[in-house]
Structure 1
Amino acid sequence: MTRSLPLLLSLLLMGIAFAFTTNPPYELQIPPSFGHRYTIPEDNPLTVEGVALGRFLFYDSLLSKNNTISCSSCHQQALAFTDGFNLSIGVSGRPTFRNSMSLANLLWVRNFFWDGHSKTLEAQALIPMNHPDEMGLAPEKSAQKLQQTKFYPKRFQKAFGTNQITPKLMAQALAQFERTLISANSPYDQYLRGKYTLTPAEKRGLDLFMRGSNPDRGIRGANCAHCHGGAQFFQNRFHNNGLDASPLDPGRQEVTGFEEDFARFRVPTLRNIALTAPYMHDGRFKTLEEVVNHYSDHIAQSRTLSADLRGMISLTSSEKKDLIAFLHTLTDREFIRNPAFSNPF
């Protein structure tokens, strides 16, 4: 027994080394300006095979009830992982409840969906599968379908060391892939690196975006950065942005039960905003012009309206054009063409 112990330890170490070399960690390329204030679960580290498996699952309509809808149906790469509809259409043919959100830079998001009802990407991944108007198939049933294929048991074996497919492992693989969807090479990013020169209109738009208004000092600004600031152009917070005086959608309140959360929704990223129309949680605005007009001139007063929106901005026509010109500099063409994020089939 004493002699066999070193042999057993040696074999164990060899097994660990083999697993590491056959499924090495996935190396994320984190832009310096984005920082490292993100969390990857200890029980779901990013691996090369895990990310690859998640990519296959993301694009596979086998996960839906009638084999017609995949995650990519509502999150298309060419549209910065949105779908171009005000409300998406799934297996039932009925519109979903809210607009499809961009999946860019989810690594830094702490609450998912417009109302933040999911706290992890792993939990989020299974919700559309269960929803009767989205993919319409319980994750357990999806796992059974995948188990019956020749392709997926081998991929799960490579990614997780088992060929037994479960909803948990499906969610972990999808979350791994989604955490790699980093967008950080727009003209604005290149401008910050000294590789792009903003046009005069784009520069004026940037100044408006970043600057608050102070009429007493003759300073004009849109103050967009108050909610859409930082390198990510979003907040992990919820706001009522003045769409309706009597909102019908309770928003965040449906999750927390708090009256002050009524009609508040998660602040989305503005990265690739020119590609992600229509806008707002219900997709009511078809163009950036409509969005800017709303914030400039048409804020609806209500009891939970964000305090920063209680006064009208009232931008001029030229200021609106400048602001929109800047928003177009947030479009990352590399992101929407990156083959690492594209359909692998």
Structure 2
Amino acid sequence: MKVLLKLGLFYGIIYLFIEESYLNYPEYFPKTKYDFSKNNLSKTKIELGRMLFYDPILSIDSTISCESCHSPYNAFSHTDHRLSHGINDKIGKRNAPPLFNLAWKSSFMRDGAVNHLDMQSLVPITDSLEMGNSLGNLLYKLKKNQKYINMFYEAFGDSTINLDRVLKSISQFELTLISKNSKYDRFRLGEDHFSDQETRGYELFKKNCSNCHEEPMFTNYKFENNSLEINQVLLDSGRFSITKNSNDFMSFEVPSLRNLSYTYPYMHDGRFSNLFEVLKHYSGPKFNYVSLTEKEIIDIISFLLTLNDKEFILNPENKFPVNKLLK
């Protein structure tokens, strides 16, 4: 990592290097956007965040956890339904996005409603269609739980449980969710090669898709209108609902294309069940920028599959903390 070049200049830089050692990623990844100086990573805080992420105690009735909609086996998204599910079987209005490489993001939610990772958890915790909790009740439940009293003491040096510590601990765990071990990444490192079909797909991708899905993160982190018609049931207008700017109508966050095999269905409302449907949309009459034959679509899909990161999906360090949560 680039931080290593600064090792030894002064104590603060050494400390930063130690903290960022939890974030191993390739040199060709861009600079992270998260300010680690305000939330230095530590093993105990990451473990506390992992515990909170998987614990349904965050919801009003202790039935829904973050993992309920963000399964580690689906790149921290869900695939069994198009829209997120909450307490009392309530149905949300959007497909739950995957969670990885969050340190490189500066806005969150599909409409960019949240501008900092530390604040993002507030939305599902308090949303009546998701966890339906109040912040006061959440803190009350945690303060009554001896397991959490002990873990906050281990993480922060005292047993004070407040909202700032809860949110930053969840962020710490989420910041460690880094997808970087796909075939594409091995190709970039010179450790693997593409097949002929994958190579054709890569060239087609660079020609037709890379304006929005920039390498190596495969997103430009912007909000774009991709010619989807508004869902007449959900009436979700995307970024427009936040900015009230007519230019933002039906604009949604450009998602990363990593781990697509694990994150179907696709789009903000899960309207497309497979990648062929997605690319048919982009090569159809409503989307004027791309013209693809079915063979070219198949070649692009072949390349997109090289972005799957099986190591990330199976990494035991980001899974349910059985020994602590069920202890």
Question: Please, what TM-score do these two structures have when normalized by structure 1?
Answer: 0.84
> Map of 1:1-345 to 2, 5 A cutoff?
25=19, 27=21, 28-84=23-79, 85-211=81-207, 223-244=208-229, 248-299=235-286, 309=287, 311-345=288-322
Could you tell me how far apart the structure 2 residues matched to 1:256 and 1:243 are?
Answer: 19
Displacement, 1:312?
Answer: 4.8
Paired residues of 1:26 and 1:47 also in contact (CA < 8 A): no
1:165 alignment partner AA:
I
SS of the aligned residue for 1:32 comes to coil
Deviation at 1:40, TM superposition (A): 2.0
- Counterpart of 1:343, as a letter, is F
The residue identity in structure 1 corresponding to 2:240 is Q
Which letter does structure 2 place at the counterpart of 1:331?
A: N
User: How far did residue 26 of structure 1 move?
Assistant: 5.7
- Whole-angstrom CA distance in 2 between matches of 1:99 and 1:298: 25
CA offsets 1:199-248 (integer angstroms, 9 cap, x no match): 1111111110001xxxxxxxxxxx11110012100122100101117983
8 Å Cα contact 1:297/1:312 also seen in 2:
no
Per-residue CA deviations over 1:263-293 (Å, capped at 9, x if unaligned) read 1111011010121000000110000110010
Q: Provide TM-score, normalisation by structure 2.
A: 0.88
Following superposition, the deviation at residue 72 of structure 1 comes to 0.7
Q: State the distance in 1 between where 2:231 and 2:165 align.
A: 42
Cα RMSD after superposing both structures: 1.8
- What corresponds to 2:11 in structure 1? none
Pairs aligned (count): 303
Hey, what does 1:303 align to over in structure 2?
none
Instruction: State the Cα distance separating 1:92 from its structure 2 match.
Output: 3.0
Q: Find the structure with the greater CA-based Rg.
A: 1
SS of the equivalent of 2:94 reads coil
Out of 228-237 and 135-144, give the one that drifted further. Answer: 135-144
Amino acid in structure 2 at the alignment position of 1:234: T
In the aligned structure 2, how far is the partner of 1:94 from the partner of 1:314?
A: 40
In the alignment, the residues of structure 2 paired with residue 119 and residue 41 of structure 1 have an alpha-carbon distance, to the nearest angstrom, of 16
CA distance in 1, matches of 2:216, 2:61: 40
**Which residue of the partner structure matches residue 7 of structure 2?**
none
Amino acid corresponding to residue 25 of structure 1 in structure 2: E
5+ long unaligned stretches in structure 2? 1-14, 323-327
Q: Is the 8 A contact 1:130 1:136 kept in 2?
A: yes
Question: Counterpart of 2:10?
Answer: none
Q: Is the 8 A contact 1:92 1:134 kept in 2?
A: no
Query: Residue type of the partner of 1:272?
Result: N
3-state SS, counterpart of residue 160 of structure 2:
coil
Shift of 1:333: 0.3
Mean CA deviation greater in 244-253 or 165-174: 244-253
Separation (CA, whole Å) in 1 of partners of 2:36 and 2:312 = 25
Identity across matched positions, percent: 40
Q: CA deviation at 1:318?
A: 0.9
